[in-house]
Chains A and B, each alone.
Chain A
Amino acid sequence: MKINDMLLNQLKLQNKYGDKASESETTGRVVNGSKEYWSKDAQVNELLERYQVPKTETNQKGIEAYLQNNEGSREDKLETIEIAASNGVEMTESNLNSIHEAINSDFQLEESIEVLVVGGEDAEGMITEGDVKEMALPEDMKAEILKDIESGTPVMKALAKALGKAFGEAFLSKFSGKVDGDITVTIRITIEVIEIKYQQEGDQFDLKALMDQFSALIEAAKNGEGTLITSAADLLAALASLEDASQVAETVLDEGVEVPVMTLEDDEDEATVASDEDFMDEIAAWVSEALNSVDDVVQEMMASLNDSDTIKLYVVESVTVKMQTVAESFKTEQSAMLQLLDTVTSEEKSLTSDQVKAVLETVINKLDDVLMKSDIPLYTSMTMEKSLLKMTSDLQEAQQLLSKNDVAGAKAIVKHVTKELSEAVFKPSEQKIQAFALKQSEAFTQEDKSLQEKQVMQLQSYKQEGVSARSVLDLFRSLGLNHEYEVSEKLSQLKNFEKDVKIESNLKEVLYKLERDEKEESHKTVETLEKSLNNLTGQQLLNKQGQKNSQQTMFFNIPIVNEQEVKNMKLYVNSRDANNRLDWENCSLYFVVDLKQYGPTGIKVDIQDRGVSITVKNDDENLKDVIEPLLDNLGDILEEVGLKAKNVNFLPLDDHKKFGRNMLKEQSVSEETTSQQTTYDAAQKGFDFRI
Chain B
Amino acid sequence: MKGYGKLQSVGQYDKLNDMEGYAKDMIDQCAKADIAVNQDPKQLKHAISTDLRDNIPPQLYFVVSGLIDVIQKVEEA
Give A residues with C-beta under 8 Å from B: 2-4, 6-8, 10-11, 14, 18-19, 89-90, 92, 94-95, 98, 231, 233, 368, 371-373, 389, 392-393, 463-464, 466-473, 476-477, 481-489, 491-492, 494-496, 499-501, 503, 509-510, 512-513, 516, 537, 540-541, 543-546, 552, 554, 558, 560, 562-563, 567, 569, 571, 573, 580-582, 584, 587, 589, 591, 593, 595-598, 603, 605, 607, 612, 623, 626-627, 630-631, 634, 637-638, 641-643, 690
Contacts and interface: CB of A to CB of B under 8 A. Distances in A.
Contacts of A468: 62, 65
Residue among B2, B20, B30, B57 with the most chain A CB within 10 A?
Answer: B57
B32 to A, nearest CB: 10
Interface in B49-77: 49-77
A665 B49 CA distance: 19
A581 B57 contact: yes
10 contacts: A389-B62, A469-B58, A483-B47, A485-B52, A489-B51, A491-B33, A495-B6, A584-B57, A623-B74, A626-B74
A637 B66 contact: yes
A231 B59 contact: no
B72 A562 contact: yes
B75 A392 contact: no
Contact of B47 (A485, A554, A690): A485
A492 B63 contact: no
A contact patch SS: mixed
Contacts of A233: 1
Given A473-B53, A612-B63, A630 B36 contact: no
Contacts of A605: 63, 67
Interface of B: 1-3, 6-7, 9-11, 13-14, 17-20, 22, 26, 29-30, 33, 35-38, 40, 42-77
Contacts of A573: 60
A584 B38 contact: no
Given A481-B52, A537-B47, A562-B75, 6 more contacts: A482-B51, A554-B56, A582-B56, A597-B74, A627-B74, A634-B66
Nearest to B29: A491
B45 to A, nearest CB: 7
Nearest to B6: A494
Most buried by A among B17, B20, B45, B56: B56
Contacts of B11: 6
Q: Which 4 A-B pairs have the closest CB atoms?
A: A512-B36, A491-B7, A469-B61, A484-B47
Given A90-B42, A630-B73, A492 B9 contact: yes
B28 to A, nearest CB: 10
B46 A3 contact: no
Contact of B44 (A484, A494, A560): A484
Nearest to A630: B70
A513 B33 CA distance: 13
Contacts of B26: 484, 487-488, 491
Given A6-B10, A7-B10, A487 B37 contact: yes
A509 B61 contact: no
Contacts of B30: 487, 491
Nearest to A567: B75
B64 A484 contact: no
B52 A94 contact: no
Contacts of A2: 51, 54
A488 B7 contact: yes
Contacts of B62: 389, 467-469, 638, 641
Contacts of B51: 2-4, 482, 485-486, 489
Most B Cβ at <10 Å: residue of A2, A392, A571, A634: A634
Given A487-B30, A500-B2, A541-B46, A482 B53 contact: yes
A582 B57 CA distance: 7
Contact of B43 (A7, A95, A494): A95
Contact of B36 (A14, A470, A516, A554): A516
Given A582-B60, A596-B75, A638 B10 contact: no
A288 B72 CA distance: 34
B50 A94 contact: no
A10 B55 contact: no
Nearest to B8: A492
A638 B59 CA distance: 9
A476 B20 CA distance: 24
Given A471-B65, A487-B30, A643 B10 contact: no
Contacts of A393: 59
Given A562-B75, A626-B77, A634-B69, A499 B10 contact: no
Of the candidates A467, A483, A581, A591, the one having the most CB atoms from chain B within 10 angstroms of its own CB is A467
A571 B67 CA distance: 10
Nearest to A92: B42
Contacts of A512: 36-38
Contact of B60 (A540, A546, A584, A595): A584
B18 to A, nearest CB: 8
Given A6-B10, A562-B75, A464 B48 contact: no
Task: Pick from B7, B49, B60, B67 the residue with the most CB of A within 10 Å.
Answer: B49
B61 A473 contact: yes
A498 to B, nearest CB: 8
B67 A485 contact: no
Contact of A89 (B14, B46, B48, B65): B46
B73 A546 contact: no
Contact of A544 (B18, B40, B46, B58): B46
A7 B20 contact: no
B57 to A, nearest CB: 4
Nearest to B52: A482
B19 A11 contact: yes
B71 A593 contact: yes
A206 B6 CA distance: 40
Given A499-B3, A580-B55, A589-B63, A4 B48 contact: yes
B57 A558 contact: no
